[in-house]
């Protein structure tokens, strides 16, 4: 079973920042927090991952709390193409990724 | 952009038939993973290869399922005597072992068993 907890759905207005929360209270010291998204009928797309420092790339920013028990994925300027299911996963990199049901983000015009 | 590719993208078969799917990973990636995804659920891990060695199998992988990666490059997933419950999206991912390892997924093969 997935070890992370995410809200089942969220809405965001186009052009605004989308902030997607995730709880991972049982994460161990060597486990990263990974974020993937899945647009309808496509394979999951890697977004970003981090260990304990905040991370930023061309797609998003990842803010991890100091105790590492939760994180927030930030899409700074959401577009309609960001409508997808977003998965937060804790893992050690190799071997299986355990997906939950994720958060269905709807970007509204 | 030579990402992970999968073939076929869609497959419709009758119950009891055998099917085989192919995955071509990103060329320098030594690890390859198979996942299955049913409607409304996240992907579930099936099996994992490092080079040509199959190192881990989920209990979801029944005896009717077999996966190979004979030369450590492409992989095949075969389902024998398909059942309607096998209808799902079959996803392949690959990664390069090392720190900050990341799995990259292909587009999937959608299987419908009638």
Task: Name which of B38, B29, B100 is nearest A91 in CA terms.
Answer: B100
* pLDDT at residue B50, rounded to an integer: 93
pLDDT < 50: residue spans in chain A: none
Give the distance from residue B101's alpha carbon to the nearest chain A alpha carbon, in angstroms: 5
Kindly identify which residue of chain B lies nearest to residue A96, measuring between CA atoms: B45
Whether A99 contacts chain B with CB within 8 A: yes
HSE, side-chain direction, 13 A CA sphere, residue B83 = 6
* pLDDT at residue B61, rounded to an integer: 87
3-state secondary structure of B28: coil
Which of A4, A38, A43 is the best mutation test for B, with the most CBs of B within 10 A? A43
CA distance B108 to B23: 9
**Burial degree of A66 (CB within 10 A; 0-12, 13-18, 19+):** exposed
* pLDDT at residue B72, rounded to an integer: 86
* pLDDT at residue A61, rounded to an integer: 97
pLDDT < 70: residue spans in chain B: 1
Q: What are phi and psi of A29, to 5 degrees?
A: -60, -30
Q: What are phi and psi of A59, to 5 degrees?
A: -95, -40
Over the stretch A63-90, which tens digit does the pLDDT of each residue have?
Answer: 999 999 999 999 999 999 999 999 999 8
A73's enclosing H/E stretch is strand A70-75
* pLDDT at residue B1, rounded to an integer: 56
* pLDDT at residue B108, rounded to an integer: 97
């Amino acid at each position: 079973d997935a070890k992370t907890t995410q809200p089942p759905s969220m809405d965001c207005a186009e052009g605004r920042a989308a902030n997607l929360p995730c709880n991972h209270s049982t994460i161990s010291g060597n486990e990263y927090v990974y974020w993937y998204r899945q647009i309808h009928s496509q394979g999951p797309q890697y977004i970003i991952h981090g260990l304990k420092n905040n991370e930023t790339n061309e797609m998003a920013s990842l803010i991890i709390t100091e105790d590492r028990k939760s994180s927030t994925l930030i899409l700074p300027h959401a577009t309609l193409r960001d409508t997808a299911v977003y998965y937060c996963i804790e893992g050690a990199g190799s071997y299986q990724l355990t997906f939950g049901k994720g958060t269905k983000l709807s970007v509204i015009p | 952009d030579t990402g992970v590719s999968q073939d076929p993208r869609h497959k419709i078969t009758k119950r009891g038939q055998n099917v085989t799917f192919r995955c071509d990973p990103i060329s320098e990636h030594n690890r390859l993973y198979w996942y299955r995804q049913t409607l409304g659920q996240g992907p579930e891990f099936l099996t994992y290869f490092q080079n040509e060695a199959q190192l881990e199998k989920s209990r979801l992988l029944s005896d009717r399922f077999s996966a190979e990666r004979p030369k450590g490059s492409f992989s095949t997933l075969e389902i024998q005597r398909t059942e309607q419950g096998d209808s799902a999206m079959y996803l392949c991912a690959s990664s390069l072992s090392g720190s900050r390892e990341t799995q990259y997924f292909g587009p999937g093969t959608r299987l419908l068993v009638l």
